[in-house]
Amino acid sequence: CAALPANLIESELFGREKGAFTGADARRIGRFEVANGSTLCLDEIGELPMELQAKLLRVIQHREFERLGSSHTIKIDVRIVATTNRDLTEEVRQGRFRQDLFYRLNVFPITVPPLRQRKDDIPLLVGSFIERFSRKLGKQITSISKETMQILQDYPWPGNVRELESIIERAVILSPGPVLQLVDKLKISAPPISVAVRTLEETERNQIMKILEETGWRIEGHDGAAAILGIHASTLRARMHKLGITRPESQE
């Protein structure tokens, strides 16, 4: 959502008819319509303008919308994955994000720790980026020194994976031989104040527990925990077993 100008987001998401606005010289199918029957990822959902948040809420609640310039209602079945680097709870408190939309999106939150807390992922990401950009640019970068990799793993990465991606692309472009050479001088500043970040399993376990408690530990049925979480009952039982979730005796 952040990559699109505000005046084009609605057209991009919901589509438009020819003549819907100046410059709309042809019908365009929106992302929701294209993703019908599958999953749509809305990146940087926290950047969505308030006026469009209401329209997105309607799509989520009623699974329908109209293209710009059309009165014909289109029914869809789309699963939404929304990402953000903002604290949406704080955005709601500040009046910058609709509370009702937040609750509709916050069904199964997953917190991904910042890259500085996932140092073991850096070699895998670096290898993937080198391969991709070498192929794209016609380069033959085949290795990276241990010293360079250590520098990359020691750096705190305030810009997370996107910063790493940009630095590797620049290094691939400017490396004269088969060994990757960094052109950016990565300065290691004082370590940031540590912030407790729950693991993915903790987040998943807490969310499943919350839904189970709200449904009275009812797993199956249209209003059961599995349906609310958007997964099969057998899948939910398997996750409960893996995460050590058992029904309290008082709930038996």
Q: What is the pLDDT of residues 67-77, one digit of tens each?
A: 888 889 999 99
Q: Are 115 and 164 in contact (CB under 8 A)?
A: yes
Mean pLDDT, the chain, rounded, equals 87
pLDDT above 60 (res 251): no
Quick check: is 110 in a domain?
A: no
pLDDT above 90 (res 3): no
CA torsion sign, 66 to 25 to 52 to 103? positive
Instruction: Name residue 40's beta-bridge partners.
Output: 80
8 band by pLDDT with thresholds 50, 70 and 90 = confident
Find the mean pLDDT for residues 191-214.
70
Find the mean pLDDT for residues 227-233.
84
Q: Are 220 and 226 in contact (CB under 8 A)?
A: yes
206 band by pLDDT with thresholds 50, 70 and 90 = confident
Rg of the chain on CA atoms, in Å:
23
Find the mean pLDDT for residues 230-240.
86
Quick check: is 246 in a domain?
A: yes
Instruction: Name residue 81's beta-bridge partners.
Output: 41
Quick check: is 188 in a domain?
A: no
DSSP assignment of 55-91, as one string? HHHHHHHHSEEE-BT---EEE---EEEE--SS-HHHH
Count of structural domains within the chain? 3
Q: Are 148 and 167 in contact (CB under 8 A)?
A: no
Per residue in 100-154, pLDDT (tens digit) is 999 999 999 988 889 999 999 999 999 999 999 999 999 999 999 999 999 999 9
Which pLDDT score, from 0 to 100, does residue 7 have?
65
Q: What share of the chain is helix, strand, coil (3-state, %, to 5)?
A: 50, 10, 45
Answer yes or no: do 10 and 100 share one domain.
yes
Q: Are 82 and 45 in contact (CB under 8 A)?
A: yes
| H or E segment to which residue 31 belongs | helix 31-34
4 band by pLDDT with thresholds 50, 70 and 90 = low
Answer yes or no: do 76 and 124 share one domain.
no
Closest Cα to residue 171, out of 116, 124, 126?
126
User: What proportion of the chain, given as a percentage, has pLDDT over 90?
Assistant: 54
198 band by pLDDT with thresholds 50, 70 and 90 = low
Q: Are 98 and 53 in contact (CB under 8 A)?
A: yes
Quick check: is 139 in a domain?
A: yes
195 band by pLDDT with thresholds 50, 70 and 90 = very low
Domain CATH for 14: 3.40.50.300
Answer yes or no: do 81 and 158 share one domain.
no
Closest Cα to residue 114, out of 164, 152, 167, 161?
161
How far from 162 is each of 78, 114, 159, 166, 220, CA to CA, in Å? Answer: 27, 11, 6, 6, 41
Answer yes or no: do 206 and 128 share one domain.
no
Q: For residue 80, what are the domain limits?
A: 6-105
Which pLDDT score, from 0 to 100, does residue 193 have?
44
